[in-house]
Amino acid sequence: MYRAVHADRAGRIIVSDHAAAAFDGAATVPFSDAVPLPAGATVLHVEREAETLDRSGRARGVGAGRLAVAAIVPRGHLRTQLPAYADAPDKPDLTPRAYAAVAADDAGELAVAAVRIDSDPTRDADAHPKNEIAAKVNEALRSRPADRLIRQLARCAREYGCRAAVNAFYGRWECALPIAAPANEHFPATVALRLDGEADPREPAAFHATGDEVAALATQHIAAGGTLVSFGRACEGEPLLASRLVEDAMRLIRAATLSGTIHLETNGSVPAALRRLAASGLDAVTIRLASARADTYEAIHRPEGYRFTDVHASIRIAAEQRLSTSLLIPVLPGAFDRSEEIAAIVDLAGELREGSAILLRDLAADPLRALALVKGRETRVGVARALDRLREELPQLRIGSFVRPLVRI
């Protein structure tokens, strides 16, 4: 039996004699899907009263001042249950994070409700000490003091923890290409689409790069050994709204080199722009969507000037144009694992070409308040079973957290 854990106000973890509980998106239930706390996980307390289960299996609070404990699992894992706690309407939203349920085994060792879905191919190589990253950044700033994009990436690497920005200073893997695109989706405060652990830039862009500047950065990264250059970080807006700039930069990149993959991460809101980019040299596209159903999608993304039907059209265009295509689905237990949601994902992903990918990553959110945005009381099958169903029904697709984009398929 797994035992409940909670934290005191000082953050000390306390193992209790009560049975461990978790939240499945609808009710407080027994803790399950336990794996030993992975290396690299972060354990933290949640500013809410912890819940456990009594002898009859009913949820009960453990007392004021006894706080819920959660873990943030490292990349390559997917949480299956949320921490069990009593929400407090008079308190502000929790900081959006990918909170996972935690318990203790009979030996008192912590376990987390999660499954391992793949290995993070960059984890060990990305584990550079901050002083080494700072030295790399400073070297680039000294050698290219007039390069506005290098200055921007320096901020992203040092202040916001962006791995795709750090890569620019190491000449490896994916390099982000900042273009200061405007936004056309406005997520509620309870949700954040960034990867957990990455800060969220709040200030407006200081400048708008030119096609020449973007292409110079991209070709330098590829020449240094980088394999992929990418437009469209979730932190800076929607690149399809700046498609003329992207198209100009791509043309200049391909005039300089045929090496490297040109990738676009997008919400798919402007199908005509995606079609034009596909015809102009784009190799790969990742389309983000928090739900494959229109009502849930629009409740979470809060789109401006487009609808879910536009996203669907972009997915079809990506398949028609033979782009290497990934659907990036941020996972929130209780929303992702509804039977109707899984069926909708299967239908949508079934339009992709063989060899395309579904990327599943934990959604950073205030769990209970984000779930309140999702209407209905549909049957939940659990995250682990939902993952099994996707693999069973979409065997032609690669499913994981970090499938690398390929050249056109």
Q: List, in order, residues 6 or more apart from 261 with CB less than 8 Å away.
A: 227, 228, 229, 283, 284, 324, 405, 406, 407
Give the domain ranges of the chain: 3-116, 123-400
Secondary structure (DSSP) of 324-387: EEEEEEEE-TTTTTBHHHHHHHHHHHTTSPTT-EEEEEEPEE-HHHHHTTS-----B--HHHHH
- pLDDT of the residue at 203: 61
Tokens 């307390």 -> residue? 45
Q: What is the pLDDT of residue 277?
A: 97
123-400 folds as: TIM Barrel (3.20.20)
Instruction: List average pLDDT for each run of 10 residues in the chain, which is 409 residues long.
Output: 91 91 95 95 96 87 92 95 95 96 95 89 58 88 92 88 89 92 93 71 74 96 95 86 97 96 97 96 96 96 97 97 96 96 97 93 96 86 96 95 67
d(CA 249, CA 215): 5
| pLDDT at 125 (0 to 100) | 46
